[in-house]
Amino acid sequence: MVERVPTRTARQPAQPRPRRPPRIRLRRILLSGAASAALTAGSVLPLGPLLPAPRQASAAEGSQVLTVAVSQSVDSLSPFLAQRLTSTSIHRLAYEYLTNYDPKDAHAVPGFATAWKPSADKLTWTYTIRENSTWSDGKPATAEDAAWTFDKMMKDPNAATANGSYTANFDEVTAPDATTLVIKLKKPQATMTALDVPIVPKHIWEKVGDFATFNNDKTFPIVGNGPFIITDYKVDQYIKLKPNKTFWRGTPSFDELVFKYYKDGDAAVAALQKGEVSFASNLTPAQADALKNADDIKVNDAPGRRFYALATNPGARSKDGEKFGDGAASLRDPAIRRALFQAVDRETIVDKVFQGHAVEGQGYIPPRFESYFWQPSDSQRIAYDPAAAARTLDKAGYRTNSAGKRLGKDGKPLDYRILCHATDPNDKAVGKYLQEWWGKLGIGLKVECLDNVSDPWLAGDYDLAFDGWSVNPDPDYVLSIHTCGSLPATPKDAGATDNFICDKRFDDLYARQVAEYDTAKRADLVKRMESRLYDTGYMNVMAYPNAVEAYRTDQIKSITTMPEAAGNIWGQDGYWSWWSAVPADKTTNSASGGSSTGVLIGVGAVVVVAAAAGGLLMRRRRATAEDRE
């Protein structure tokens, strides 16, 4: 998406769609000064000139296969259900969105739409849909497909599972002709050039019955109109894609793109060293150190777009008012939540766990997104102070017994559980520190490391959890997952909520920011939302991890990072990395019998791509050890 960005992981509705892991997914865009001014003025944004010229496939001898190691399962191949980072990253490759994001500065560039214009009152948006787009089965891709996609999300709650926040304010969507899409809003919406919704072919999807259970994983190839076509999929094994040779922006250079699943990070690194895979992400500091001097391998260590946090169960509930789950009632006391975070040494987490490949956490939005980055004031900031944590508990009436155990109001010891991703060594390491720090307060902690954290998370059967999302240039989506409207309709439904938070003050601020077109005023509202989220103590951000990745330089000549100057390859807000990847002159046969062309990221090549594009663009959603999108 979580990807709880990771990615954390997501939830699991009807079989076989598991909830995305707590990861962090974010979407949307931040307009550049010129684009923002044009938008405010209500003018058409002519985006064609920004696009690079179409490119031809690589002429290198033999089959050029780019293999990417992933550690997060796919929750669904349905764009209407998928929320994990792996899934949403694949959907960015297989389907066009109305707009895309320039990898250099994240301003809006053409996607399925070539231009857009709001009415004077900002309540009607008209998009010009490109004429030369076709679905991979040869049928025309038109405005009718986009109108049908949005309309389905508006009318079928199951189709709005993953991205419903984008269409909740839509009043009507029509396609007057094949190249014109008109969206009428109930009130102004600042995300209209950042609608991170995959457009699907109407002639395929109108045949689907139950959108809650259809995972789009039985018939291949899957019809799409992005730069790649999904050709095969095996659960927790691999996803294969072929280049879309009719893609309007140009055919990718590799003959095949494979996402190969590795439950164990060390196994993925070993495969990278052997040349069996071309790229691996979410490296631990030890793995990165082991690879940085290896032959034909390059480590990319850049500021990340995700946060790493503690999520506290506020008491799981659904929109119909029913409470469920077994979260500890004592954690609903803000004094306990505050004391727990007062006893978290974030500096140690950055230095000892991430070994400097992270920045100390503060607000909800990482510092990479400068316009929305918020820091608490000195008086508001919850600093590491174990003595103050003990005083907070004492003052609130939580005393210790003769054995040194902190007691709840019911006289029972305070003992909590924390959900941990079994595949994430960071969770395990931080869990040990928390046991030590909170143990000194007399509070017990059981670290429950599971392969699938989605099921207990969805059921509300947890006290605390390690959480994380990849944040998009536009923060609307990652903020929306903490609104009351994102709660599941009933306890049996998945919903879009991250952590069952429902706070009226937060919701009021959310409604105001999404309707605010003035960028400075909107940024201020977003920061006030972060401040409120910080004060409630249900989400405590511990760190902003770097994107630490590695790729084989003997397999890929160049690839685009995002941001272009110093950014990530995996989990981008767009398809730029894999679409732009150019094979090295020589292929390398993998030990498994296939041909695996590795990844080489060349800064020079990135500059060339950006120059050709006139300035491409950058974009979205979440990431934990495999976060939600």
CATH number of the domain that 444 lies in? 3.10.105.10
pLDDT at 59: 37
Same domain, 457 and 393: yes
Integer CA distances (angstroms), 291 to 272, 288, 301, 302, 577, in order: 9, 5, 12, 16, 21
**Which range, of 378-382, 534-538, 584-588, averages the lowest pLDDT?**
584-588
Residue range 443-455: mean pLDDT, rounded:
94
- Whether pLDDT at 258 is above 80: yes
Residues 310 and 298 placed together within one structural domain of the fold: no
- Structure tokens, 212: 């809650």
Distance CA 590, CA 55 (A): 27
- Do 128 and 212 lie in one domain? The reply is yes
Query: Does 472 lie in the same domain as 511?
Result: yes
Task: Say yes or no: 141 and 127 in one domain.
Answer: yes
Query: Omega before 110 cis (within 30°)?
Result: no
**Cα separation, 50 vs 66, whole angstroms:** 27
Q: What pLDDT is attached to residue 62?
A: 63
Tell which residue, 102, 78, 72, 103, has the closest CA to residue 91: 78
Q: Residue 87: which region, alpha, beta or left (left: phi > 0; alpha: psi -120 to 50)?
A: alpha
Q: Which residues lie across from 306 on neighbouring strands?
A: 470
- H helices of 102-171, in order, are 143-155, 164-167
- Over residues 354-382, the pLDDT tens digits come to 999 999 999 999 999 999 999 999 999 99
Distance separating alpha carbons of residues 90 and 76, to the nearest angstrom:
11
Please tell me whether the peptide bond between 16 and the residue prior to it is cis, using omega within 30 degrees of 0: yes
198 located within any domain: yes
Domain boundary, last residue among 519, 545, 571? 545
Half-sphere exposure of 59 (CA within 13 A, CB side): 2
Q: Which of 316, 266, 252 is nearest to 577 (CA)?
A: 252
Least confident of 332-341, 342-351, 451-460, 587-596: 587-596
pLDDT of residue 423: 84
β-strands 65-70, 279-280 pairing: parallel
The span from the CA of 480 to the CA of 476, in Å, is: 6
Residue 30 belongs to a domain: no
Query: Cα–Cα distance between 60 and 66 in angstroms, integer?
Result: 13
Residues 229 and 259 in one domain: yes
Q: Please give the pLDDT value at position 33.
A: 36
Name residues whose C-beta falls within 8 Å of residue 538's C-beta, 6 or more positions apart in sequence.
311, 312, 314, 337, 499, 501
Which of these ranges, 4-18, 119-133, 218-232, has the smallest mean pLDDT?
4-18
Is 597 inside a domain boundary?
no
The CA distances from residue 237 to 68, 323, 325, in Å, are: 12, 37, 32
177: phi then psi, degrees, rounded to nearest 5: -155, 180
Q: For residue 18, give both structure tokens.
A: 């598991």
Q: Is 213 within a domain?
A: yes
Nearest alpha-carbon partner for 283 in 296, 266, 295, 298? 266
**Strand pairing class (256-261; 238-243):** antiparallel
**Is residue 616 predicted with pLDDT exceeding 60?**
no
Using the predicted structure, report yes or no on whether residue 244 has a pLDDT greater than 80. Answer: yes
Q: What values do phi and psi take at 406, rounded to 5?
A: -75, 135
Determine if the peptide bond prior to 221 is cis (ω within 30°). Answer: yes
Indicate whether 444 and 474 sit together in one domain. Answer: yes
What is the percent of the chain with per-residue pLDDT over 70, rounded to a whole number? 83
In a domain, 616, yes or no: no
CATH number of the domain bearing residue 170: 3.40.190.10
Is residue 17 in some structural domain? no
Q: 395 and 529 share a domain?
A: yes
pLDDT value of position 494: 78
Residue 82 has pLDDT above 60, yes or no: yes
Span 423-445, average pLDDT: 96
In a shared domain, residues 189 and 296: yes
CB-hemisphere CA count at 13 Å for 548? Answer: 23
Task: Give the HSE-up count for residue 248: Cα atoms under 13 Å, Cβ half-sphere.
Answer: 20
- pLDDT at residue 20 in the model: 36
Residue among 461, 158, 160, 418 at smallest CA distance from 323: 461
The reply to whether 3 falls in a domain is no
Same domain, 290 and 394: no
Distance CA 359, CA 482 (A): 24
What would the mean pLDDT of 266-272 be, rounded to a whole number? 97
For residue 566, the enclosing domain spans 65-303+548-583
Report residue 191 as tokens: 């995300």
- Of the ranges 21-35, 159-173, 468-482, which one carries the lowest mean pLDDT score? 21-35
Asked whether residue 40 is domain-assigned, the answer is no
Verify that 562 and 485 share a domain, yes or no.
no
Neighbours of 249 (CB within 10 A): 21
pTM, to two decimals: 0.80
Question: Is 60 exceeded by the pLDDT of residue 121?
Answer: yes
Positive or negative, the Cα torsion across 312, 354, 82, 237?
Answer: negative
Number of structural domains in the chain: 2
Residue range 317-331: average pLDDT? 96
Cβ atoms of 42 and 536 within 8 Å: the answer is: no
Residues 574 and 538 in one domain: no
Q: Report the distance separating Cα 30 and Cα 231, nearest Å.
A: 33
Compute the residue count for the chain.
629
